[in-house]
Amino acid sequence: MPEVIGIGLLGVGTVGSGVVKILRDNASQIAQRVGKRVEIKRILENNESKLRSLGLTEQGTNRYEDLLEDPSIQIIVELLGGIEPARTYLLEALGRGKHVVTANKDVVATYGKELFAAADATKSDFYFEASVGGGIPVIRVLKESLAANQIQAVIGIVNGTTNYILTRMGEEGIEFDAALCAAKDAGYAEADPSADIEGFDAARKIAILASIAFNTRITPNDVFIEGITRITPRDISYAQELGYVIKLLAIAREQDEVEVRVHPALVPENHPLAAVQGVFNAIYVQGNAVGETMFYGQGAGQMATASAVVGDVMEIARNIETGSTGRFSCTCFYTKKLRPWGQFHSKYYIRLVVKDQPGALASIAGVFGNNRVSLGSVIQKRTLNMAGISMAELVLITHDVMEQDIQDALTVIKGLSIVSSVENVIRVEGGEQG
Amino acid sequence: MPEVIGIGLLGVGTVGSGVVKILRDNASQIAQRVGKRVEIKRILENNESKLRSLGLTEQGTNRYEDLLEDPSIQIIVELLGGIEPARTYLLEALGRGKHVVTANKDVVATYGKELFAAADATKSDFYFEASVGGGIPVIRVLKESLAANQIQAVIGIVNGTTNYILTRMGEEGIEFDAALCAAKDAGYAEADPSADIEGFDAARKIAILASIAFNTRITPNDVFIEGITRITPRDISYAQELGYVIKLLAIAREQDEVEVRVHPALVPENHPLAAVQGVFNAIYVQGNAVGETMFYGQGAGQMATASAVVGDVMEIARNIETGSTGRFSCTCFYTKKLRPWGQFHSKYYIRLVVKDQPGALASIAGVFGNNRVSLGSVIQKRTLNMAGISMAELVLITHDVMEQDIQDALTVIKGLSIVSSVENVIRVEGGEQG
């Protein structure tokens, strides 16, 4: 058995440099904990100056074959991101019997099945802890530590950008656009922030978590997605008055059917997820034995993500050492039924502006009632004068209702002459806590 | 290879019954996830009615040899608690090459070294996730997921009884004794609550966590311990005014030397640990790569603890399946120096009653200054009339100071004629968060 575990690194951007740093700074304890030294043998990277700054010029190459054909490389660490060429590279590596560690949520969420099949064919390991929640070890927790449980719900704050934006909006009362600018200034949002603010990033992550939690393949296309661009400081402020905070939640639940969705939601302020601030992530998991748990930490960033990558490398090194690679394979044993969007259940926060006249509320309540939507509370927030007409802003919280019913009711309500506008409709979640 | 993984169960009390229930209720998914059925073969239990109520009369025996000598039993699950006979039973099991899962913090904290040595000798597995934090998978997280890190600090709320008591005191303003009674009534405190309220239970748990985090053997005797019996509603209320909550913390830190201690502490209200309410537990871990993380859940209780036990059983089953038992052995590679108690550093909250006369504060501040204790803030809370003498209650918060210095200062201060009493001295922790 080799005395050294050899790594082939695809890319030395931010996270890759972090991996290099950890393998250097913590080298002796990693060797002690794994029983072998872990060394970077080759790096696929065009940017010579990056390699030079890390003192790794010799390891650099722009031919992937140099990694594939190097027998001293047992583990390929992929940090390129995006679908291609990552997917092809990983399939080739697994096909040759090399083990794979990746932080690439896109390729895992969409091509997980294919990648696991390739790993199985050569009894290779395929690990991806860093693809969800950065340094938070939620994937291994779901696969191993909580394996005795039937998982009932996974509810995550898995996108730091949107959590930062919502935190700033809540703390400072600023508009979404201003908070997005602040996030860009702080380096927490990209020039094109749509993957974050529209919920696509969170959808990929919850697809991965749901697949593991419920042992059935969920891809991003199975996820209902709604972003945070319509959230206003007024909604956040009203939510606060009612004892809630607004978070972008990634939710996966199994109850008869599986449902997976990403959307902003009012979360009770005493729920563990409510305290997750700024760019931090947290994943709340409810199991039929363990009850409520939550796992909290930095969901992104160089060193936190690299911590998860190197943790996976060390686990594979132990598998190599003990001859037990392939011990964790695909866990999507079943093909479970997905709940259609219209049959989701939730409470709703609804903010609307109506003419301030007798009977207005009765009309609205009547439409909700006709559509099986029962109201928990109705609060008149303020009166407005719009072009000489006196208007009232109402905030309603419904009881638990079916998505299709609320949408049907809202369609009718928008057509009522007494209704000026439906300002916002936001789900209320986290009631499990009781 | 056997088609069934056989379990020998020591004790079917609360947690044992939970283990039986999980193995029944989640049987098909456990078999799917592990690749084998997991079955309870024999149970060491004198109480026939317990066995009957679980429908396991046939498995019952009062001879431990019946478990040891049964070749169909690969894993011994020990849920007896306490040192003996648990320690002897476990050593015998490991000596025979049987794998062990235990929830017994006492035996792990005190005899971990001996038990690991016995496991090593026969290449057996020795797992104890349930011994700390109930269903929270903190041990596997430290050993595996965060293995790439140098751990800097582990700060836990690891005793649900005391957290429940402090939560009730904070919410209702009741005295310690009343909250303790409430905890007994709710079934959260034992008739003799001293192991919980004096901090001994937390000390065993942090000894286990510190040993893993810092790769050096820490036993309960190495832990500085102070309980919560002297905390008053007044302290909790003043702490709240200053932006803190009071928690019983179990703290392990490595900075040059290792320090391990259990004591009540003021925690900033925006620290993740501050939001942990009632009987819930949480373990905050800071690593040099991952940064801040926290793991939250039920720290005790039948099903949460059983979830961790069965999770360990499943991991061992996978090790058996892949021929990799013994893959995780003792990780106490080093013998690190422990920081002596007098050299601990902390901020301090000090509440004292002094004569309300000119120069009183100057005298006190002078004594602190002479002992290298620098004061961050001094707040006069109220004046009191005691036997005709006007007194002032002061609350001081120090800057970061050395334990020996604060104790020296307090000895002098208690002797000052203007000082009526030093009402309480509580450390302030959780400043890592910035």
pLDDT in tens, A305-320: 999 999 999 999 999 9
Query: Cα–Cα distances in Å, from B188 out to A289, B162, B230, B276?
Result: 19, 9, 20, 16
CA angle B321, B322, B325 (to 5 degrees): 90
Q: Is the pLDDT of residue B221 over 50?
A: yes
Average pLDDT, chain B: 95
- Tell me what pLDDT residue A1 has: 57
Cα–Cα distance measured from residue B337 to residue B222, given in angstroms and rounded to the nearest whole number: 11
Q: Let me know if A41 is a catalytic residue.
A: no
B308-316: average pLDDT: 97
Place of tokens 């501050």: B274
Q: Does residue A58 carry a pLDDT above 50?
A: yes
Q: Cβ separation of B297 and A314 shorter than 8 Å?
A: no
Q: Give the residue among A195, A187, A261 at the shortest CA–CA distance from A223.
A: A261
A433 has pLDDT over 70 = no
Nearest alpha-carbon partner for B244 in B39, B2, B429: B429
pLDDT at residue B434 greater than cutoff 60: no
* Probe site for chain B from A15, A25, A37, A144 (most B CB atoms < 10 A): A144
Q: Is there a contact between A147 and B275 if contact means CB atoms under 8 Å apart?
A: no
Cβ-nearest to B324 among A295, A308, A323: A323
Which residue from B minimizes the CA distance to A145? B311
Task: Work out how many CB contacts closer than 8 A connect A with B.
Answer: 206
Provide the 8-state DSSP code for B145: I
Report pLDDT digits (tens) over B82-109: 999 999 999 999 999 999 999 999 999 9
As beta bridge partners, residue B280 has B298
What pTM does this model have? 0.96
Asked if A327 and B304 come within 8 Å (Cβ–Cβ), the reply is no
First to last CA, chain A: 54
CA nearest A242: which of A14, A42, A397, A44? A397
Looking at beta carbons, which residues of chain A come within 8 Å of B145? Answer: 129, 137, 140-141, 308, 311
Contact between chains at A295 and B295 (C-beta distance less than 8 A)? yes
Report whether CATH 3.50.50.60 matches the domain A344-428: no
Six-digit token pair at B110? 């005190």
Q: Which two tokens stand for residue B366?
A: 């002078």
Using the beta-carbon criterion (under 8 Å), do A298 and B306 form an inter-chain contact? no
Q: What CATH number should be reported for the domain whose range is B4-134+302-321?
A: 3.40.50.720
| pLDDT interval class at B2 (50, 70, 90) | low
Cβ atoms within 10 Å, residue A410: 20
> Do A313 and B301 touch, CB atoms closer than 8 A?
no
CB B113 within 8 A of CB B120: no
Question: What are B399-428's pLDDT values in tens digits?
Answer: 999 999 999 999 999 999 999 999 999 999
Task: Convert the pLDDT of each residue in A216-251 to its tens digit.
Answer: 999 999 999 999 999 999 999 999 999 999 999 999
Query: B138-298 architecture in CATH?
Result: 2-Layer Sandwich (3.30)
Which of chain A's residues have a Cβ under 8 Å away from the Cβ of B140? 140-141, 144-145
Assigned superfamily of B345-433: ACT domain (3.30.70.260)
User: Are A25 and B146 an interchain contact pair (Cβ–Cβ within 8 Å)?
Assistant: no
Mutate to test the interface with A, among B307, B309, B310 (most CBs of A within 10 A): B307
CA atoms within 13 A on the CB side of A398: 30
Interatomic CA distance for residues B371 and B401, integer angstroms: 10
Question: How many Å is the Cα radius of gyration of chain B?
Answer: 24
For residue B263, give both structure tokens: 């004591």
User: Does residue B138 surpass a pLDDT of 60?
Assistant: yes
3-state helix, strand, coil in chain B (%, to 5): 40, 30, 30
Mutate to test the interface with A, among B33, B123, B290 (most CBs of A within 10 A): B290
Neighbour-count burial of B240, counting CB atoms closer than 10 A to its CB (0-12 exposed, 13-18 middle, 19+ buried): middle
Alpha carbon distance B395, B382 (integer Å): 10
Flag whether pLDDT at A71 surpasses 90: yes
Average pLDDT, chain A: 95
Residues 6+ apart with CB under 8 A from B415: none
Asked whether the beta carbons of residue B144 and residue A30 sit closer than 8 angstroms, the reply is no
Which residues in chain A have their CB less than 8 angstroms from residue B293's CB? 135-136, 295-298
Q: Which of B293, B298, B305, B312 to mutate to test the interface with A (most CBs of A within 10 A)?
A: B293
Q: Cis peptide before B85, with omega less than 30 degrees from 0?
A: yes
Asked whether B372 and B347 are in contact (CB, 8 A), the reply is no
> How distant is the Cα of B300 from the closest Cα of chain A, in angstroms?
10
Average pLDDT score over residue span A99-118: 97
Instruction: With a cut of 90, say whether residue B328 has pLDDT above it.
Output: no
Q: Crossing angle of helices B200-214/B105-121, nearest 10°?
A: 30
Residues of chain B with CATH 3.40.50.720: 4-134+302-321
pLDDT of A80: 95
Say if strands A224-225 and A257-268 run parallel, antiparallel, or are unpaired.
parallel
Torsion sign across C-alpha atoms B104, B106, B107, B109: positive
pLDDT at B433 over 50: no
* Residue position matching structure tokens 């050899």: A6
Please write the tens of the pLDDT for every residue from B281-301: 999 999 999 999 999 999 999
B87: three-class secondary structure by DSSP: helix
Q: Do A289 and B32 touch (CB under 8 A)?
A: no
- Nearest Cα neighbor of A308 from B146, B285, B140 is B146
Does residue B96 sit in helix, strand or coil?
coil
The answer to whether the beta carbons of residues A309 and A127 sit under 8 Å apart is: no
Number of H-type helices and E-type strands within chain A = 15, 17
| Contacting residues for A332 by C-beta, under 8 A, at least 6 apart | A112, A113, A116, A211, A215, A216, A217
- Say how far apart CA B80 and CA B67 lie, in whole Å: 15
Measured between beta carbons, which residues in chain A are less than 8 angstroms from residue B432? none
Tell me the per-residue pLDDT of B151-191, one tens digit each, with 9 for 90 and over.
999 999 999 999 999 999 999 999 999 999 999 999 999 99
Helix (H) or strand (E) holding B346: strand B345-355
Do the beta carbons of residue B152 and residue B254 sit within 8 Å?
yes
Closest alpha carbon within chain A to B123: A322
Residue A96 is given by DSSP the state T
Quick one: which H or E segment has residue B193? Answer: none
Task: Report the residue from B303, B322, B327 with minimal CB separation from A291.
Answer: B303
Angle between helices A86-95 and A105-121 (to 10 degrees): 20
| Residue A429 near residue A267 (C-beta atoms within 8 A) | yes
In this structure, the number of other CB atoms found within 10 A of the CB of residue A362 comes to 9
DSSP H or E run through A257: strand A257-268
Helix (H, G, I), strand (E, B) or coil at A333: coil
**CATH 3.30.360.10 residue ranges in chain B?**
138-298
More confident residue, B384 or A296: A296
Closest CA to A176 of A122, A99, A235: A235
The pLDDT of residue A387:
87
Among residues A36, A105, A205, A347, the one annotated as catalytic is A205
Closest Cα in chain A, distance from residue B131 (Å):
14
* Nearest-neighbour CA in chain B from A35: distance (Å): 10
Per-residue DSSP letter, A144: I
Q: How far apart are CA A115 and CA A119, in angstroms?
A: 6
Please say if the pLDDT value at position A358 is more than 90: no
As a whole number of angstroms, the distance between CA A251 and CA A153 comes to: 7
State the amino acid at position B429 in one-letter form. E
Partner residue facing A275 (CB), from B29, B146, B275: B275
Which ranges in chain A are annotated with CATH 3.30.70.260? 344-428
- Whole-complex ipTM: 0.95
What is the distance between the alpha carbons of residues A139 and A130, in angstroms, rounded to a whole number? 9
Longest dimension (CA), chain A: 84
Phi-psi region of A300 (alpha: psi -120 to 50; beta: other; left: phi over 0): beta
Q: Give the CA angle between residues A367, A371, A372 to the nearest 5°.
A: 120
| H or E segment to which residue A18 belongs | helix A14-25
Strand partners, B395: B351, B379
A355 forms beta bridges with A391
Tokens found for residue B333: 């590679």
